[in-house]
Structures are given as C-alpha cells and as structure tokens.
Structure 1
C-alpha cells in the first residue's frame, strides 16, 4: 500500500509542479527549477499528503504544501551541490544544476525554489488565513537558522573542527539538516486540520533521525548507481557519522528502534495510520 501511494503522490506532485512552473517564462533559471524538482522519492511531499488524509483534509488543499516542501527540498539540494558547499556533480543520477548550467543559474534557481515554497503555502486554496500563516511560519522556522540551515552550518563547521563530533552533536546537526523538513512534513496534516500536531511531531522526529542513520548506512553499504550520487564522501573527509560513532550493527539497531518509536506515536490513530507506519519501515529498508 505504501509504495503504491508514494508513487501516486509523486506523480501528483509532479503534475502540480508542471502546472505552477508551466506559467513561468521559458528561461534558463525556470528550466533549472523544473529540472531540479524532477525525480526523487518525494517522501516529504508524501508525508504532507498522507498526514492530511489521516486528518480528513482534501488533496486539493494539501497538494500546495506538499509541493511547497518538495520545492524547498530541491532548493536545498541545488545549493548543497554547489562547489562552495559539497561540490557534487551528480544528483539523482543526473548532472547537478550547476554542472548542467552554471553556478549563477544554480544559485538563482535555488533562491527561486525557496521563495516558491512560501508562496505555495500561502495560496488561498490551502485553507483559512490562520492555517496558511501557521504553515508558512513553521516552514520558515524549519528551513532557516533554527532548522535546516543551522544543520548545514554545523555540518560545514565540522569539516574544519579540531575533533570529530560527538553523538549528541551529530544528532543535533542532523535534526536540523535532515530532520527539520521531515518533521514539518509529518505535522502538516494536523496543522491543516487546525489540530495539535504533537503525536505527528513525535512520529516524524523519530522518522527523520532513522532516515539519516539509514543514509549513513547506505553511504557505507550502498550502490552509487542506485543512489544516483557519490557515496562515502563523509568517510573520505574524516567526518563523524552515526556509523563511525556507533558501528554498523549498532547504527542499524538504533534505526530500527527509532522506527518502532515512530510507529508507536501513531497508535492513537489505529489502522488509519498503517500507511505512515509502512513509510517508517521503508526508510531503513530503502536502497537509495
């Protein structure tokens, strides 16, 4: 059920990107925006849509924040791939944006995708003004120097630190860099319904950390062709990861514990939350 729903939601989000970006002028920057938003699992957008379904919210409202989070995620990848950041030339099995075009286009495409995310959350189709304001505010908090950007800044600082990060430090780093957007996505359905998102926050927080531990495991055991990107970069740079700190077996065990925590947070929803529980199990079983 989960994999089929993930694929359906991915197609629906792509249709929404085609609709939104199709209205833009045909320029390098807009072509780069479209290119950057193609492909990928769209797990964050799925979490928005599925959490909305769980809370009785129609897709016609939820598709806007679902597309918003995928635009924001795409922006983060475009900028993360730049020479001044991770300097990657491959993303999702294709040349990165700055390789296909140039650095200037990549910077501007990322900037435009970031602002597009807030525009989409603020669209009147999403719902009442207070709901839109809450989604936009919390997305800004998750994306900025309290969330994802904080995590990225801590990651850059770790590259020149005198010692490797501790487990507590890397957990804080990844809670921002990877976890903040996943947490926002998982809470979006409750926010759309005007309900307390605490159970969904517990679910998505555990899911986000499990996702990152799984990423660290894939960086060691994964197949670069399936991943569509270069692997073992952190090991080559001497950076601490969950695997380097815990060991491979303990990292796998911790990820499994986190999946159990995520699933337990959904118990009050009963069988209606089974697809989200399957999503949690998927993050530590994926190959890319």
Structure 2
C-alpha cells in the first residue's frame, strides 16, 4: 500500500499502536487523578468497566472475525492493567490496586504463555489427513524456531531453521490465517511431483502401501528420521511438476496429497512466516452438536 515495503508498513503499524496506547494511558491517568481527588469511586468503577468491556470486545474480534494475533493485544492489556495497579498504589486506593492486579496477572501470564510457549489452534480442514482431522485442537509450540512476539517476522532470539518432515504452522503469503502443513523442501532443494510421488533433489520419498479402500489409499512415508502416513485419492490425476526452492523460502505440502491447498498451488513460505510446530493434540471437537472427545490426545508425528 502507498508503495511501502512490508517492514516499513509493520514499523508504521507498531508506531501507531504505541501512539494510541500512550494517548490512552495519559487520558486514563489524568481522568483517574481528577476522579480520585473528588473521591468519586462510582466513576472509577464505570471507567474500569468500560475499559474491561472494550478489551474483551477486541479480543473476541481478533479471535472470531480476523483469526488475528493476540500477542500485541495481550501486551496492551498487560500494560494498561499494570498502570491501573500503579495508579491505585500511588493513590493508596486498594480497590483500584486490586482491580488492576486482578487484570494484570492473567493478561501477563496468558501473554507469556501464548506468545512465547504454546498457542492453541483448531484444525479447520482435512488437508492433513489421516494424521490430523477436522476439529482436532492442537498446541503450537511457538519456540521451535526461535522467540518472537508477532506471528510473522524474524526471531529475536534462539533462531533455528525448519527441518524436513516438520508439521509446521505458518502464515501463508496469500492469507492472514495460520495454515498447518508438512515441510518437504528447504532453500536450494529441487522438488518434483510425478505420479503422486514426491522427489527431493532427485531422490524419491520412499512409500509403503498400508491400506486401500474404494479409491482411497493410505501410504507410509519415511521423512528423515520420522515415519508418517499420507492419504491419496486414486481417481485424481497428477501432472508432473517441479519447483526450485529459493533462498529464505520453504516448500510445504499437506499429508492429504490430493486434497490440500499448499505450496504446489500458491508458492513458497518465507522463513519469517513460521509460527512454530504442531506438537500435540489435546482435544477433538468435530462439530458444535458433537461432544468433545479425548480419544485422539497425543503427540503429533
């Protein structure tokens, strides 16, 4: 937009958010200072309720409408609630201090847990069948490839590159929502797909047929040091294709090879777009009218 590159655009967004946060904090401090001098506790409660409802609405909007990243929002909530707690302590008002502390602790703990350790995610499609099914709730290990605050961008510490066979969670170049796929190609690799079989730098990924029913086949593949299962539809035709993975890019494919929207169609994934790895299934909930199930709980291969 307006001829700006991605980094410049992100910088402008960060500066804008910080500016809005600064104005909000100054307004809050000034308003509470005036109210506390007049000892109008009812107005204080109204201000706190308004802020709480606003933050709750923003969080729900990020979750259900935009599938957005809550990292910045949780950080803002932590800062605002911390300032409330400090205002209460300075003004020697135990009610405001307790309210601020009551908000700050959960906001900050969730921010640390979700941003740097684990983030929950629900599988929305069957592109990773047979391993991951629609409705599986998984934990995304956020620190696999390094520590970072946002979903996209380079890690700020402990950076590590994705490896062949990883079940990666990332933001694709054409969408703002997270995708889950299998990493097949690294920078410099030549990926070929012929007769429903993948080749990496001319070497085939070994397959072993496990089962066949109607037009559905389940294969076992050996990727580096892990054994995975993939799914193929025999009635789907595959035309030979080949890709050369550029520097700083990666090639990802769904385990449901004939029913997956992946790098074969929309291209490569930049290194900075990886959020982490799909590490664990902790619950399955196939539909709203179904009962949650814990039968599939376990580590993701």
TM-score (norm 2): 0.23
Greater fraction strand = 2
Greater fraction helix = 1
TM-score (norm 1): 0.24
